[in-house]
Amino acid sequence: MASIRDIAKRAGVSIATVSRALNNDPVVTPRTREKVLAVVNGEGYVAPMGRRVTTNIGYAHVGRQANIYDSALLNGVYDSALVAGVLRGLDESRLNVVMLNVNRDKATGETYTQFFVRMGVRGVLLRTTAQSRHICQTIADEGFPAVVISERFDSPNVSFIDCDSRADSVRAVEYLIGLGHRRIAFAMNAVPDCDHLDRFEGYKQAMEKAGLGVDEELVLRQRASLSGGATIIEMLMRRSEPPTAIYFGDQVLAVGGVNKAHRLGVRIPEDLSVVGVDDSEMRFSVHPTMTAVCQDAVQLGMEAALGLSRLLKGTVKGCFRKTLPSYFEVNESTGPPPLRPGGAVAIGTDRAASDDLRAEAAAPMRGQATSNGSGNGQEPVES
Amino acid sequence: MASIRDIAKRAGVSIATVSRALNNDPVVTPRTREKVLAVVNGEGYVAPMGRRVTTNIGYAHVGRQANIYDSALLNGVYDSALVAGVLRGLDESRLNVVMLNVNRDKATGETYTQFFVRMGVRGVLLRTTAQSRHICQTIADEGFPAVVISERFDSPNVSFIDCDSRADSVRAVEYLIGLGHRRIAFAMNAVPDCDHLDRFEGYKQAMEKAGLGVDEELVLRQRASLSGGATIIEMLMRRSEPPTAIYFGDQVLAVGGVNKAHRLGVRIPEDLSVVGVDDSEMRFSVHPTMTAVCQDAVQLGMEAALGLSRLLKGTVKGCFRKTLPSYFEVNESTGPPPLRPGGAVAIGTDRAASDDLRAEAAAPMRGQATSNGSGNGQEPVES
DNA sequence: CTGAAAGCGCTTACAG
DNA sequence: CTGAAAGCGCTTACAG
């Protein structure tokens, strides 16, 4: 590792001049700067020394699946939308993001604070699952500046940003019930996080309230992947009495499910209504466009970054927490159930009647975004 | 900004002990360490000082659209697959990635080397477009360790990793021609990079070779987004003589196009054959599954990271360059053209004949990956 | 515009 | 296990 003294010697200048050249001090002659940089870069490469950087924050997954992209590839859409938002949110404060790998780099016995300080970050944005959320609590207890993305905490010292999709999940399932559906399935990631559990809660609440109860046979868990979604549709539609509607609590499962339905000849929404969730624009990447409970992952990331930079600046003292609204959007993947349940739809006059009913039911809401029912419209809730 | 001396004073220990506690030196008593960390973290938060970190490399987009995620959201799939690969590739060398924002942070007049050194990174992975590739050349000329991802250079001092999809683009278009297509459209991103230009080259080459020529009316450019893909299909299918096949040189355009076709009642592949490209698993996220020229973005990212870490270690002297093979995969979105061209397909016996033909044509290749035609099979080309 | 020198932040062999 | 002190890497007011 070349030091500033080595470079100075080789370039025939003082260490002060090397320092100035590297820091873009305008007082240095272009010729001198070039001479210095030639040595820094050139001749077989001199490794630039580690520099003291105070503008880095970390982005880290905690828990066993700690490498950011270990999961199915399309899940990267969610993470990259979050990171997109994070980068925007850091524009003002001019901070930079370092992707940390906790499992690889954190020494055993080392506290999280020590680890983060050692990695040279002033704060962290955390991603987690239900299984490992206690780690976020530990980090908060240590006092290291951290904002958890998409997980909710009761204890008052954990900073987080989340989007509560319970109310809109209730609304989505009630919308299906209103269309006439009775057998409504629910699907979620086998490794749940707060979002998936919210949606499951909403599903259960709406089903109970309508007196339909929760049939455990209609609740399926698969790894969030296209093939997971396909498996779910296959398992459901193979039953003697398949559901007439399904609420996918995960966007990748939903896409995989919709395409498997096409493959099996199950028509959407004529034979099966599908409600999905969407963090970005996935609902428009399938045909028919998907009715979905939506959250804005870019905004989540942005708010998380803003929250953390405020914690670091000291603008916000102690703890930062914010809940963004989700929204329920009716598109084309939902309609009334088939008149003869079980997948095979009646043809002839029955079919025409069904089509009319469907058009009537869907028309007034199609393409409209309805805000969640928390009573404050689109305004984020801050506490 | 609290210094190590401030913390030492507040904790009632020497600066040496603070240093040891922060560096997880096992020699420090747990009690002492806790005392120190309590001050580091606690009481109104003391900002951890910037630390000298020598394990960071940068990931940067150069050029005007320099913020990584300024483009359409689903493009994040490509970037996140690349980053996934980068993180895997850095596992061994234990380096970390910092997301750099060149446009925001690089001072005017500052050289790229100075900028990178100032940001505390030892090397960079670069993303670019055709318009800004000269910047990668500049960085290479300065001598700063850099590997360009997915762009190809003639000059011998630029390190890069790319995937050449020209040969497989030729193959894809020849496959369409072999099925009987004559009017074959081509669509690409309005902001081209090396990959898009390769595919365009391949398209032109195959069309010329077959004596079909290139009709500029059948070459469309749109911003890579779902709606861009929809626009392309709309423009093409509205014509008096629409094409019977299209090769999308971008994965997001392809998905948008396929769904717009469904919406217009254009059947795939009966009325229109679609060949797409795929960096990950997008070809399976639509129905019917998409015949596509594929490249492995995760592997691209991984090889880039391995290349850079070798440059930093000095294992590879000077320059690193590698070209990965693409592969052409036939799935369900391609078949023979409709017997009566123009979208409206004949029904009755004609239709049945067409279906038979299609089954025959597609069956032998369906689901098979065929390696590119560079003569060395799946082996990467290294020079 | 450059250098010598003071000084900051941190680490580490050495002494206790 | 901890501290005093030497020392490294870097920056910066000051002198020329």
Please check whether residues A182 and A281 belong to one and the same domain.
yes
pLDDT tens-digit map of A133-172: 999 999 998 888 899 999 999 989 999 999 999 999 999 9
pLDDT-derived band at A48, boundaries 50, 70, 90: low
Q: Are B255 and B241 in contact (CB under 8 A)?
A: no
Q: Distance (Å, rounded) from C-alpha B240 to C-alpha B76?
A: 36
Among the residue ranges A342-346, B244-248, B314-318, B340-344, the one predicted with the least confidence is A342-346
Query: CA–CA distance from A79 to each of A375, B56, B74 (Å)?
Result: 29, 21, 11
Q: Looking at CA atoms only, how far is residue A228 from chain B in angstroms?
A: 12
Task: Examine residue B277 and state whether it is found in any structural domain, yes or no.
Answer: yes
Q: In chain A, which residue's Cα lies nearest the Cα of B35? A: A142
Whole-number pLDDT of residue A264: 96
Whole-number pLDDT of residue A42: 60
Residues 6 or more apart whose Cβ sits within 8 Å of residue A16 = none
Q: Which residues of A touch B56 (CB under 8 A)?
A: 53, 56, 98, 120
Q: What is the mean pLDDT of residues A292-318?
A: 89
Centroid of chain to Cα A99: 16
Listed residues A325, A340, A368: the one ending a domain? A325
pLDDT-derived band at A72, boundaries 50, 70, 90: very low
Q: Distance (Å, rounded) from C-alpha A110 to C-alpha A104?
A: 13
Q: Which residues of A touch B281 (CB under 8 A)?
A: 72-74, 226
Question: Any idea which nucleotide's C1' is nearest the CA of A14?
Answer: C3
Please check whether residues B310 and B335 belong to one and the same domain.
no
Which amino acid appears at position A24 of this protein? N
Please check whether residues B134 and B247 belong to one and the same domain.
no
Task: Examine residue B51 and state whether it is found in any structural domain, yes or no.
Answer: no
Average of per-residue pLDDT values in chain B: 83
Centroid of chain to Cα A125: 13
Enter the tokens of residue B306.
């391995």
Q: In chain A, which residue's Cα lies nearest the Cα of B318? A: A44
Q: Which residues of A touch B317 (CB under 8 A)?
A: 44
Among the residue ranges A35-44, B295-304, B339-348, the one predicted with the least confidence is B339-348
Q: In chain B, which residue's Cα lies nearest the Cα of A114? A: B22
Q: Which residues of B touch A109 (CB under 8 A)?
A: 24, 26
SS3 category, B238 = coil
Task: Examine residue A3 and state whether it is found in any structural domain, yes or no.
Answer: no
Whole-number pLDDT of residue A365: 38
Nearest Cβ partner for A96 among B50, B83, B119: B119
Average of per-residue pLDDT values in chain A: 83
Q: Do B41 and A122 touch (CB under 8 A)?
A: no
Please check whether residues B267 and B225 belong to one and the same domain.
yes
Q: What is the mean pLDDT of residues A73-90?
A: 80
Whole-number pLDDT of residue A230: 97
Whole-number pLDDT of residue B330: 98
Q: Looking at CA atoms only, how far is residue B208 from chain A in angstroms?
A: 33
Query: CA–CA distance from A63 to each of A191, A221, B92, B148 (Å)?
Result: 11, 20, 20, 32
Pair type for strands B321-325 and B291-294: unpaired
Please check whether residues A220 and A118 belong to one and the same domain.
no
- Helix, strand, coil percent values for chain A (each to nearest 5): 40, 15, 40
| Residue B195 in this model has a pLDDT that exceeds 50 | yes
Please check whether residues B303 and B230 belong to one and the same domain.
no
Nearest Cβ partner for A285 among B255, B298, B317: B255
Please check whether residues A217 and A359 belong to one and the same domain.
yes
Total of domains in chain A: 2
Task: Examine residue A47 and state whether it is found in any structural domain, yes or no.
Answer: no
Among the residue ranges A30-44, A223-237, B69-83, the one predicted with the least confidence is B69-83
Task: Examine residue A19 and state whether it is found in any structural domain, yes or no.
Answer: no
End-to-end CA distance of chain A: 49
More confidently predicted of A371 and A318: A318
Among the residue ranges A277-286, A287-296, B291-300, B348-357, the one predicted with the least confidence is B348-357
Please check whether residues B209 and B354 belong to one and the same domain.
yes
Residues 6 or more apart whose Cβ sits within 8 Å of residue B92 = B306, B309
The dihedral built from the CA positions of residue B105, B107, B113 and B119, taken in this order, carries a sign that is: negative
| Residue B125 in this model has a pLDDT that exceeds 60 | yes
SS3 category, B199 = helix
Please check whether residues A196 and A290 belong to one and the same domain.
yes
Query: CA–CA distance from A92 to each of A302, B105, B166, B281 (Å)?
Result: 11, 11, 42, 35
pLDDT tens-digit map of A319-353: 899 999 999 999 999 999 998 644 444 333 333 33
Q: What is the mean pLDDT of residues B150-155?
A: 92
Whole-number pLDDT of residue B151: 92
Contacts 24+ apart (CB under 8 A), A351-360: A354/A270, A358/A269, A358/A270
pLDDT tens-digit map of B31-41: 888 888 777 76
Which amino acid appears at position B35 of this protein? K
Nucleotides of D under 7 A from a protein CB: 1-5, 8-13
Whole-number pLDDT of residue B129: 85
The domain spanning residue A316 has which CATH number?
3.40.50.2300
| Residue A302 in this model has a pLDDT that exceeds 70 | yes
In which element (H, E) is residue A274 found?
A: strand A273-278
Task: Examine residue B383 and state whether it is found in any structural domain, yes or no.
Answer: no
Q: Is the pTM of this model over 0.95?
A: no
Please check whether residues B245 and B264 belong to one and the same domain.
yes
| Residue A114 in this model has a pLDDT that exceeds 60 | yes
Q: Do A117 and B48 touch (CB under 8 A)?
A: yes
Question: Any idea which nucleotide's C1' is nearest the CA of B31?
Answer: D1
Whole-number pLDDT of residue B64: 63
Nucleotides of C under 7 A from a protein CB: 1-5, 8-13
Query: CA–CA distance from A380 to each of A170, A201, A326, A328 (Å)?
Result: 19, 21, 10, 16
Q: Distance (Å, rounded) from C-alpha A145 to C-alpha A137?
A: 12
- One DSSP character per residue, A118-165 reads HTT-S-EEEE--GGGHHHHHHHHHHT--EEEES----STT-EEEEEE-
Q: Do B50 and A52 touch (CB under 8 A)?
A: yes
Range of the domain at B256: 164-295+326-377
More confidently predicted of B163 and B29: B163
Please check whether residues A110 and A217 belong to one and the same domain.
no
Whole-number pLDDT of residue B288: 96
Q: Do B285 and A83 touch (CB under 8 A)?
A: no
Q: Do B120 and A53 touch (CB under 8 A)?
A: yes
Listed residues B285, B308, B325: the one ending a domain? B325
* d(CA A12, C1' C1) / Å: 15
Torsion of CA B230, B232, B233, B235, to 10 degrees: 120
Torsion of CA B8, B11, B16, B19, to 10 degrees: -90
| Residue A364 in this model has a pLDDT that exceeds 80 | no
Q: Which residues of A touch B69 (CB under 8 A)?
A: 80-81, 83-84, 87
Task: Examine residue A157 and state whether it is found in any structural domain, yes or no.
Answer: yes
